[in-house]
Structure 1
Amino acid sequence: CYEVTDRGGTAERDLGISENVRFAKEDTKPGRVAAHFGLHASFTLSDESLEKARAAAEPLGLPFHIHLSEGKEDPVDSLQKYGVRTAERLDKFGILSEGTLLAHGIQLSGAELELLSQRPASIIHNPRSNMNNAVGAAQVTTMLSRGIKVGIGTDGFGCDILGEMLTARLLAHHTSGDPTALGDDELLSILRHNYELAGRFFGLPFGRLAEGYAADLVIWDYRPPTPLNRENLLSHLLFAGISEGLSPDTVFIAGRIRLRDGGFADVDELEIMAKARAAAEALWKRV
């Protein structure tokens, strides 16, 4: 998705809308690339912009990706300009639809949580980004207890979903004062919802080693210091593995080995890094 915003004016906004439509209409690789319609946040989008985005997305069946009440400015702006809180405003434009990803969802009222429990959109929890930006913590356990769909992401803060899961648990302990908050069942439900979202976007099921499922697999070279079983697998991964710096040894994507012995199997990593540095320097000179 491409982020649509009013911050650069209506001409730039319209270019952003067109870019989302262009990308969605492109031929993509089945199971590898899928499109969302990107929106920044309620506080940078007028009613006119939200209506234009909805009109462009609906014919293509595109769900949305938008920041929802990450900071206090989002609900404050919505109340001052439109007389309703952020989730209520987005709902008026059909944004809380099936497949929509609502990043963060921190500054939400009880009424908004009730509304979200009645809508198919998903909250995406990004605990490390939230801590870094000092914007607070999402009410994840409350959301789950109310039946709100919750997934987990990184918000660009690295690409380590298991690390985010560990952080989510520790943050839940810290903010609630309850060392049992966000237990294994709740964390696994969040991870399973990520699989469900991936299945919706890419057209095939994820999350099992079974016929017909996506042939995506990560293998860790992990030697457990205590017996490993179904009941303690997550704790081993999060506390004995991820917290100690465990990295993937082998990665399969769509049945092809992409990482072997901890290194890329089919690309030159050093060459890519060199090209990335050159591209970054060229970008810095332009801006």
Structure 2
Amino acid sequence: MLLVGNGRLVTHDSLNPFMEDGCVVINENIIEDLGTTSEMKAKYSDYEYLDAQRKVIMPGLINSHMHIYSSFARGMAVPGKPSENFMEILDNLWWRLDKKLTLEDTKYSAYATYTECIKNGVTTVFDHHASPHSIEGSLFTINDVARELGIRTCLCYEVSDRDGKIIADHGIEENVKFIKYAMKDNSDMFKGMFGLHAAFTLSDETLDKCAKEMAGLDTGYHVHTAEGIDDLKYNLKKYGKRVVQRLHDFDVLGNKTIAVHCIHVNSAEMSLLKDTNTFVVHNPESNMGNAVGCSPVIELLDRGITVGLGTDGYTSDMFESLKVANIIHKHHLCDPRFGFMESQKMLIENNQKITKAYFKNDLGIIRKGAYADIIIADYIPHTPMNENTLGGHMIFGLSGRCVDTTIINGKVVMKDRVLVNIDESEILSKSREVSKELWNRI
């Protein structure tokens, strides 16, 4: 039982968005109460007290699309001439890297990535994994690391035909095994989804297999959707269908499915996404880095589609993704009126909705009954901070490196930027060794 008080409390609850001197009461893994520090200390005098020292207390952040395995590409030199387009980036970098991953690589990628997430105030991660020559046990390996570090996560394996039917079948099997395993767990700390790479790397036969295996599984798909123009061109040429339509024909869309990116989609496809209550996740930095275009997020939101915010492995800092989401649409539309409110809606409101489809209690919000996933950020504002100015402080002031304390499921997993469950120096030293060996194999 813990009180976290003496801080500027940001709740992300529209009914009580901000308290100048707030305190959160945690009982086991649930937020039991909140109010002023003096009130809560008097009411819960026997609870342990954590003094936020006038820093910002706020909900833990949610990343609704991540690639843990991509972490070992950081700093890696890619042989040959620079990639000229998205397909060359996939061929020259990502598909070259994921083919060489071992379970040990996956394990230490998870350590490195989850550690960075915790240090950036991210308390829930939806990951999309690929290791085609080391599939069996990969999701379980990632989940073991998440358990050890105490972070909440939702995992899947990206099924693809690009390495042959046998490997595709192994990917399907890994998804099904992990989904069933997660369904039996009562901790509500990890969940499973059915991962698909993208429509252009999946045959009708494989999509049909996936649909049959999904029967009876209470989960959704997690799939890259119309990220690059080549995805659209391939599906039109081979199947005579646009990407979203083809996925819809195999019952991929639905109220638990995450369609990632949705850049090259038209009005009819947006209607399908809306009608099926499919989630979309925007990854602005990755889209810019891969030069694939800008997702029509403003129109998607205007149509009532739930668009969340992720990073696609580009960063572990959701504040960073928020900042770029704010400006990419101003730039793309040549209109400064767009981006500010929409970026906050994606990160705060819509990422909450995505987690609600999988986890029993509320996440990404501080109110009674929600899970106690809370961060403290070392940020002292130099202009007024209140319910009307929070967005400006989040976008222009806060960053992941401000976070000095992270609490997940009621447990302090980082205090004063030191993780309490592991020896970070030892883990990162081992990660450097493992990643170097991977680079040599590539």
Q: CA deviation at 1:279?
A: 2.5
Amino acid across the alignment from 1:187: S
Q: Deviations over 1:100-124 (max 9, x none)?
A: 1111000111221122221211110
Q: Looking at secondary structure, tell me which structure has more helix per residue.
A: 1
376, 392, 395: which is aligned to 1:238?
395
Q: How does 1:52-63 map to 2 (within 5 A)?
A: 52-63=209-220
Q: Deviations over 1:19-48 (max 9, x none)?
A: 111111225462221101010000000111
Q: Which runs of 5+ in 2 are unaligned?
A: 1-155
Q: CA deviation at 1:284?
A: 4.2
In 2, Cα distance between equivalents of 1:36 and 1:120: 16
Quick check: 1:37–1:64 contact (8 Å CA) kept in 2?
yes
> Which residue does 2:432 correspond to in 1?
277
Amino acid across the alignment from 2:180: K
> Which residue does 1:77 correspond to in 2?
234
Q: How does 1:93-132 map to 2 (within 5 A)?
A: 93-132=250-289
Quick check: 2:328–2:339 contact (8 Å CA) kept in 1?
no
In 1, Cα distance between equivalents of 2:372 and 2:438: 36
Q: How does 1:1-287 map to 2 (within 5 A)?
A: 1-27=156-182, 28=185, 30-184=187-341, 186-190=342-346, 191-242=348-399, 246-284=401-439
Q: Deviations over 1:3-25 (max 9, x none)?
A: 10000111111111011111112
Q: CA deviation at 1:286?
A: 5.3
In 2, Cα distance between equivalents of 1:221 and 1:265: 18
User: The residue matched to 1:26 in structure 2 has which SS?
Assistant: helix
In 1, Cα distance between equivalents of 2:344 and 2:215: 32
For CA contacts below 8 A with separation 6 or more, give which structure has more relative contact order: 2
Q: Which has the larger radius of gyration?
A: 2
Cα–Cα, structure 1 residues 246 and 274, in superposed 2: closer, same or farther, change >3 Å?
closer
> Which residue does 2:43 correspond to in 1?
none
- When the two chains are superposed, the root-mean-square deviation of aligned CA atoms in Å is 1.5
Aligned-residue sequence identity (percent) comes to: 38
- Count of aligned pairs between the two proteins: 284
Amino acid across the alignment from 1:131: M
User: The residue matched to 1:241 in structure 2 has which SS?
Assistant: coil
Amino acid across the alignment from 2:239: Y
Q: CA deviation at 1:166?
A: 1.0
TM-score by length of 1: 0.94
Amino acid across the alignment from 2:384: P
Q: Deviations over 1:198-239 (max 9, x none)?
A: 122122111332232110011111111111010111111211
User: The residue matched to 1:257 in structure 2 has which SS?
Assistant: strand
Q: CA deviation at 1:264?
A: 1.4
User: The residue matched to 1:155 in structure 2 has which SS?
Assistant: coil
In 1, Cα distance between equivalents of 2:387 and 2:157: 40
Between 21-30 and 277-286, the greater mean CA deviation after superposition: 277-286
Q: CA deviation at 1:172?
A: 0.7
Cα–Cα, structure 1 residues 188 and 241, in superposed 2: closer, same or farther, change >3 Å?
closer
Q: Looking at secondary structure, tell me which structure has more strand per residue.
A: 2
In 1, Cα distance between equivalents of 2:366 and 2:180: 32
TM-score by length of 2: 0.62
Quick check: 1:247–1:262 contact (8 Å CA) kept in 2?
no
